């Protein structure tokens, strides 16, 4: 197994290099999903949990009090605690439309988010549209190759074609949202949502695998954890525990 440091040397994608080095130096492969609806909550949690994470995942469109200065605050926190910002926008339209959704509108995602993701369903034009905006800014795109939710349609040939599409656009695509490792290409980073300390599901189709399963069995790189941290009685203690557990499993895989 290659270390994240070695993988940083094996990719020419500037953002992937940055993330691999950050994970290696900070010793964390935890991405926290802060699905909160007020800016105050988002900023407080980002500041509190920032030291534990490699990536902060947001859904800015669920904020009820969004103001444009949030992007400056998030960038300052990302710099202070050394994490990347990932807006989980799940783009899914034709190239022309997604390029506008990425660059324009009230959220101006391209200005502040290091990472974004997209459904490959529209075909490679979606990558070209996003790349046009993101490549000059050294941003990165994750393709959604698999989902965590019950009954989802992203499997089999769809997932296989997604991997091919990513490889063909590896100047901008730096990895996947997936439930397991999909390629041996060391440049591609696998992010896995639907992770908790204990397995289970929620009442709306979300399915959870454990940290151990995600890292040791499915061989993913980064675990995305939301409510197991944000809904814990002590979010910082939960984040510290999950971070340590995930890193211990990672190092036990011989990736050090
Ligand atoms: P949770 O609270 O740990 O269930 O949050 C999971 C987050 O990951 C949430 O923000 C989802 O939008 C996101 N997610 C997911 O759960 N499953 C997927 O397949 C994808 C994203 Br893609």
List, for the chain, all residue ranges whose pLDDT scores fall below the cut of 70.
255-256
Residue minimizing CA distance to atom 1 of ligand 1: 226
Question: Is 226 touching ligand 1 by the criterion CB < 6 Å?
Answer: yes
CA distances from 192 to 84, 135, 240 (A): 16, 24, 18
User: What gap in Å lies between CA 48 and CA 149, rounded to an integer?
Assistant: 29
Phi, psi for residue 175 in degrees, rounded to 5: 165, -165
Closest atom of ligand 1 to CA, residue 202: 4
The whole-angstrom separation of Cα 192 and Cα 181 is 9
Judge contact between 163 and 190, C-beta under 8 A: no
Residue with tokens 């009230």: 106
b/e 83-113 (16+ beta carbons within 10 angstroms → b): bbbbbbbebbbebeebbebbbeeebebbebb
Tell me, what's the pLDDT at 256? Answer: 44
Q: What is the pLDDT of residue 87?
A: 99
User: Which pLDDT value is given to residue 189?
Assistant: 98
Q: Which CATH superfamily is domain 4-252 in?
A: Aldolase class I (3.20.20.70)
Which of 194, 214, 232 to probe ligand 1 with, by most ligand atoms within 8 A of CB? 194
- Separation of CA 109 and ligand 1 centre (Å): 19
d(CA 139, CA 94): 19
Distance 182 CA to ligand 1 centre (A): 19
Report pLDDT for 211: 98
DSSP strands (E only) in 92-206: 115-118, 140-144, 173-177, 189-192, 195-196, 200-201
pLDDT of residue 114: 99
The confidence score (pLDDT) of residue 74 equals: 98
Lookup: tokens for 132:
């046009």
pTM above 0.95, yes or no: yes
The CB of 206 under 6 Å from ligand 1? The reply is yes
């Amino acid at each position: 197994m290659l270390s994240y440091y070695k993988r940083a040397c094996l990719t020419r994608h500037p953002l992937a290099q940055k993330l691999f080095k950050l994970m290696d130096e900070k010793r964390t492969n935890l991405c926290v999903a802060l699905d909160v609806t007020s800016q105050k909550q988002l900023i407080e949690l980002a500041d509190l949990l920032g030291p534990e994470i490699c990536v902060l995942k947001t859904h800015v469109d669920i904020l009820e009090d969004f103001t444009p200065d949030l992007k400056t605050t998030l960038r300052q926190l990302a710099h202070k605690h050394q994490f990347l910002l990932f807006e989980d926008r799940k783009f899914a339209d034709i190239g022309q439309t997604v390029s506008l959704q990425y660059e324009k509108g009230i959220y101006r995602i391209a200005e502040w988010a290091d990472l974004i993701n997209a459904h490959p369903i529209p075909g490679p034009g979606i990558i070209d549209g996003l790349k046009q905006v993101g490549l000059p800014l050294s941003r990165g795109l994750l393709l959604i190759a698999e989902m965590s939710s019950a009954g989802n349609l992203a499997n089999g040939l769809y997932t296989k074609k997604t991997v091919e599409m990513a490889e063909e656009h590896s100047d901008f695509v730096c990895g996947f949202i997936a439930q397991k490792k999909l390629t041996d290409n060391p440049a591609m980073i696998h992010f896995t949502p639907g992770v908790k300390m204990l397995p289970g599901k929620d009442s709306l189709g979300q399915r959870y695998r454990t940290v151990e399963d995600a890292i040791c069995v499915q061989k993913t790189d980064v675990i995305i954890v939301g409510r197991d941290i944000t809904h814990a009685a002590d979010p910082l203690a939960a984040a510290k525990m999950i971070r340590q557990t995930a890193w211990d499993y990672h190092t036990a895989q011989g990736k050090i």
